[in-house]
Structure 1
Amino acid sequence: MVPPLTNPLAEGVHSLEVDGLALRYHVHGTGPVCVVHPGGPGIAWEYLRAPELERSLTVVYLEPTGTGGSDRLATHPHGYTRDLYSRHLTALIDHLAVGRVHLLGHSHGGFVAQYHAMHRPDQLAGVVLYESAPGNGPEFGEEMIRKAGEFAARQAGRPDVQSVMDAFAAIPAISDDEAMVAAAKGVLPAYVADYWADTPRWSRLQEALQATYISGLGGNGAPDLFDDRDALRALTVPALVVVGRHDVVCGVRWAQELHELLPASRLLLLEHSGHFGHLEEPENFAQEIASFVAAGSNAATIPSWIDNKISSYRPC
């Protein structure tokens, strides 16, 4: 376990114990607190580091159970459900002892963040659903296949396109950490708006990716499937829905649906991004997140989210 720092929000690496498991988290920046939950499940947190955001916010990057320096469940690679991740977020936010925080979840982390907002709204001043979706059933998988096909058609003639599509096809057979890392690296060119416009930059990210295989099955062996549509209609936590125009995983279709479902939301469309807007359009991303957090940190502005919902895209 990482030696504890006296201040739970001091710059650096921290650890706390939850349910007998060590959870590691990292604190960077200064300003209102924003807790960040990465995606996957199983992708190591480092890809989500956003230095531009840290200029105006205290960003708390969680290493979810089963990844990086946090402990694995005894049932690993099974049992990593949204309920489990939410219980660990509850413990982390209580540990920070600053009252309500903003919560940002990316990709699968967005699934977790919306679950947490539905079940623990008392802990949140706002939630950022960054490349999320209202459900993860068969239609979600079908949409991803369709968008991957669009990527292949758009990039036809590129020498690596077939290997990217092969990596997508291999995802259902993943059963260990090595295969998980290989798949994450293999599909990455489809996850940015234009990998080949700056291949050296994106290949560095590709090589740096680390991941843990997490099955997506609960402790009872059943898939952790969900459809949040009904519950999201009743969510009053202010929400910012963020999506890249070219995302193949949690694309515009899902972001628009989330925005339409949520009573108090804004929709931010990053026109020149895929799945990694914090890296593809870092200044726009950071400015919009910081503005959202600043508004939510001032209680006097919160009714405007409910009474004056912005119903159109806000492209950057």
Structure 2
Amino acid sequence: MAVPHGSTLIEQRYHVAGTGPVCVAHPGGPGIGWDYLRMPLLERHLTMVYIEPVGTGASGRLPDPRAYNLATYTHFLHAVVQHMAVPGVSLLGHSHGGFIAQRYALDHPEHVASLVLYDTSPVTGEDFWSAAVANMERFARLHATDHPEAATYAAGLTTPLGRLTDDEATAVLRSISPAYFFDYWGREKEFGPARRELRMYAAPSLGEDTPFDVREELSRVTAPTLVVVGEADFICGPRWARMMHQAIPEAHLVVLDRTGHLGHVEQPEEFAAAVVDFLAMPHGSAE
């Protein structure tokens, strides 16, 4: 579908799979391809609509890379929701996609029947990133003996991707991705395909935006909300999940044990059960 953005029409792609009430899923990033977020177990219960964000994959590119910001992503998400013409959707946002989901639920509450905030945070900024780097450094020390390459992960996390090609940015993401799992090397045969599926597009990292912070607004969220977090997520872990849980009226919190930033890959049955059970509640119905 073509979406107006300023004076330009930009192609916005999305992918539909499954059957049941509609759940729109926004991947993380900015700039990560949608494929890693595929959730086959949820597709048994829900019509999953996976957003392919502008600047990635087959979606269009913005003329000015500085425009890859929260307002732009929210604008394109709204266009997809309107295009589907469903009275109310479940909205699932992972990581950076969770920032977009929070913003969308605040700005367009009439379109959101329920909200799933998955490994995300209500705030970024200096404290958020300092904590992420410190956790990454802790991960490197823990695995230094068997995997000395982990010593480079903190530097990879802070690499300015906008200076790289898409292939180079993808290589950086894949190189540090073991830290996104609780036990990548112990289950490498299982998680290797997911790692190879990760794809990063460099231009969205050039977007100009203020640090994300909706902490003072979350009390206005009207959609029934589920917060899901991996207990070992180094970047959007339980500290940030509890902030959302406490701020959003009557939100539910699920902490997945022995799980990092990719619970739908690491603990797919537990993750899917948490989402499906929540949406089956009368207050969480997507219908």
Normalised by the shorter chain, which TM-score bucket?
over 0.9
**Which residue identity does 1:33 align to in structure 2?**
V
The answer to whether 1:251 aligns with 2:240 is no
Aligned to 1:45: 34
Q: Percent identity?
A: 42
SS at 1:211 equivalent: coil
Cα RMSD for the two superposed structures: 1.7
Aligned to 2:3: 18
Unaligned runs of 5+ in 2: none
Aligned to 2:250: 264
The answer to whether 1:180 aligns with 2:169 is yes
Aligned to 2:63: 74
The answer to whether 1:273 aligns with 2:262 is no
Deviations 1:60-89 (A, max 9, x none): 00101111110011113x211111111111
Matches within 5 A, 1:134-213: 134-159=122-147, 160-169=149-158, 171-172=159-160, 174-176=162-164, 177-213=166-202
* Structure 2 CA distance for partners of 1:298 and 1:23, relative to 1, 3 Å: closer
Distance 1:264 1:68 in 2: 37
* Contact 2:137–2:151 (CA under 8 A) maintained in structure 1: no
* Contact 1:181–1:210 (CA under 8 A) maintained in structure 2: yes
Aligned to 1:303: none
Q: Which has the higher contact order (CA 8 A, sep 6+)?
A: 2
Distance 1:237 1:173 in 2: 35
* Contact 2:23–2:92 (CA under 8 A) maintained in structure 1: yes
Deviations 1:27-62 (A, max 9, x none): 111111100000011110000001011011110001
Give how far 1:180 is off: 1.7
Tell me the TM-score normalized by structure 2: 0.92
* Contact 1:41–1:214 (CA under 8 A) maintained in structure 2: no
The answer to whether 1:214 aligns with 2:198 is no
Unaligned runs of 5+ in 1: 1-15, 300-316
Give how far 1:274 is off: 0.3
Aligned to 1:60: 49
Distance 1:33 1:111 in 2: 20
* Contact 1:237–1:264 (CA under 8 A) maintained in structure 2: no
Distance 1:139 1:264 in 2: 27
Distance 1:69 1:195 in 2: 29
Distance 2:187 2:180 in 1: 13
The answer to whether 1:113 aligns with 2:98 is no
Distance 2:70 2:39 in 1: 24
- Number of equivalences: 279
The answer to whether 1:240 aligns with 2:226 is yes
Deviations 1:131-178 (A, max 9, x none): 111111111101101211221232231223224344235x23642323
Aligned to 2:83: 95
